[in-house]
Structure 1
Amino acid sequence: MFDFVDKHKKIVHIIFGLVSLTFVFWGVQSYRSMGGNDVANVNGLKIAAGEFDAALHQQQERMRQSLGAGADASIFDSPGFKLAVLERMIQQKLFLDAANEAGIAVTDEELVEMIRKIPAFQKDGAFSNDRYVELLRGQGLTPVRFEQEVKEDLARQQLVDFVTRDSFLSGQSAKLFLAMLGEQRVVSEADFDPSAYVSKQTASEAEIAKYYKDHEADFRVPEMVKVQYLALSPEALEAQVSVSDDDVKKYYAAHPAEFSVPEEREASHILIAVAKDAPQAEIDAAKAKALQIEQDLKKDPSRFAELAKQYSQDPGSAANGGSLGFFKRGMMVKPFDDAVFSMKAGEISA
């Protein structure tokens, strides 16, 4: 099961080297005219136009640095150069697809360890997140995109290591690898010049309007906004402002309302209720009962909660010993409100 690679390791090395060289120097004319947002689709793994542009820019910069100022800059913008970059990306996608099929996965821990070991991201011998973000920004990359690329590179490298190093490789994995190397693509293309057909179209305004209505989703683009913002830091502004004690006193004297809090009072009550149309005898009886409770409380104010639970007809406060909690002026009915805010602390009134 594991003997294939061991017996044919030299052949596999040669094939792998030839494939690498092939993708570096060959161009695929068929991809010149590809349109849409994706420039290639490799077994379901898409290469977006933005991804290709970023890879092309990175490769152009690497070649300029490698060849020096005397290099012919036009080479880097030639169709052949661009197609070579695309073919390299296709190769990488094929390797990634094979790695996925072989069950090769890179953990987050392995990814973090790899990035932290890169010398360019270190400062004073230790990983620096600020330097990491700064260098990526200079290359037009975000941490998320860079980390995804590194993760894919590690997966591809693990696949290659199965073949190029003294590791055990299953027969199934070897078959997947060789099948990937032997893949071929057949691409057809057709040139279409819209201007040649404009004069031949016979669609009426009504037909155009109907088509638009039936295919509105085809003409929608994601909503985008242009935003400008100003970041204000209270700490930074505070460091630029000097306020004396006299300034504070003057501001306080000129704006007392900003620092005042409406008066609140805490009160408890025992409600003896009578109907509005109650006969006079019933009203007199309620008053007598209230006065009697007042006399009992003046003798022993500590019994207020006890008597409230016994006599109060307010279902909201009776169970709480008659407590109404804290409230501001104007929150209660006026007669009760006026009485509470005219009394002194601890005073009892009927």
Structure 2
Amino acid sequence: MVLLIFPSFVFFGVQGYTSMRDNEAKTVADVDGQPIKLAELETAHRQQIEMARRQMPNLDLKLADSPELRHDTLEGLVRERVLAATAFRDHLGVSDDRLARLFRADPQFAALRNPDGSVNKEILAARGMTSEGFAQELRQEFTLRQVLMAVGTTTVLGQRIQQQALDALLEQRDAQWQLFLAEDYLDKVSPTEADLAAYHQKHAERFRSTEEADIEWVQLDLDALARQNPVSEDELRKYYEQNLSRYTVAEERRANHILISVPKDAPAADRDKAKAQAEALLAEVRKNPASFGDVARKHSQDPGSASRGGDLDFFGRGAMTKPFDEAVFAMKPGEISNLVSTEFGYHIIQLVAARGGERKSFDAVKEELAKEVGRQVAQRRYAEAAEQFSNMVYEQSDSLQPVVDKLKLERRTATVHRTPAADTKGALASAKLLEAVFAADTVRNKRNTEAVEVGPNQMVAARVVAHRPERVRALAEVKAQVMELVRAEQAAALAAKEGQQRLASLKANVAENLPQSGMVTRVQADPALPPTVTDAVLRADLSKGAVAVGADMGANQGYAVLKVIQRVPRQAGDADMARARPIVSRAWAEAETEAYYASLKRRFKVTQHSTADLAKLAGQKEEKNN
């Protein structure tokens, strides 16, 4: 089972509750006399599919385009509308001060907060939002939260009820079992053609293909424009010369130094004394350069480097004060400088090593230059080309060839589905493009789509060549799949038959033992026992002692024969009991919250389409589009 958890994405707010739209569309739900239209549901569902695609790239998005999940989307819209109606009725709201406190305290907004707790406007802008729009949306969300928060945070669970719930959750029973696995019976079944046909007919929806279209499409982007206008070698060389620093490894020097510290504004006598000391040390190290480190450790007044023999490690040009920098970059490795005066005092510098300064040749970076300069030129042309692209695919809508010829674009082909596969990348993964491709006019009249922006500096138009509506695939197309499913079903039936025979024997003599045994509990479930089997063990009636029961393992896995012996009390101070208490309390609070929400739905006379109703509407829409 795949669970799709979609965050709330539509906030109607108190004001929004009183203004609804699109009276001509089909109504799929009604809250307090205010309709929710099919068009609104379709928009919301597309948003959820796109959100799922971003959050779970490996998810098969075909699962999201189903009546069941459309019903979940509708339920979300109804819930928002009910909460908005309640907030409107009860005059609920959030003050500016409280809104700011909630924003700063809520962990889900951590990525949107600056260090001082304010909202990061740059991140909002990247998401296409303003700070004012975000504040309004946040206010609406917190307003709706208040409706149910009062119930969920004030629930008090009595000790006796809590203990009963804990006992049911943590119950453990001593049991024995024998599993009749369907996989062990596969070699004993041979489905006939009639079996396959009957299964295909009975489970036709399982073999329904999704709507698809063969399209041709073109994309305008910077790479396409760059290919059309290659940059000459002279232009590349000019760019190379203008940006030599980018293709040159930064120069670095490693030096030792001795500092005799004296402020620049010190009295002349003090500066003369410091200079004399520095000159004496300079003479000493020039006489014996190998002693430089020892002299630095003994006499240097630089607290950061003296203990390391004056070693400053490698540093780049401009990292040191200017006189020091100019002196060291004029030296050769092994040299010892004259005295260098800076605002810190007098320095004696020994250059240890030099590195960097190597320049990449033009030929080595020519390909990189061509791409970079080409994209710069393309960027300057893009706005004009995009306008041409948009106009041509619209004005000459019966073919993409004119825009291909005019802008020298590549015409491509593809087969696409209304919902892209999880591994689809690039333009064909764009929900906006696919919505345009499967629009009624595009499909029916084979006209170009409008120009669709699928990314920064990326514009696409497409044209449907062939369209195949959703349909049940013929048995011949899916015969191998049907054969596998029928064999599994028949093998499970054989397993169940033998299992039930064994169960009858065990019931006749419940003292018999089964081959496997253990403690069965929901908390530490045995991986060999499916949930249906665990549930059967814990539901068995032990009022008359040990009992024999059977359980279907589900999903054509087989059949389980069970002997449930006794209930095993938990020990005092059981760790599972302590861990489960807050879980039970939260579950109870959630149950009371949902009960209150159900009462609100009754209060506002909510009506809404069922899953079957939505499936029927989707089918009618397909027929109309085709």
When the two structures are superposed, what TM-score results if normalisation uses the length of structure 2?
0.20
Of Structure 1 and Structure 2, the greater strand share is in 2
Q: Which has the higher contact order (CA 8 A, sep 6+)?
A: 2
The structure number with the bigger radius of gyration is 1
In proportion to residue count, which structure has more helix? 1
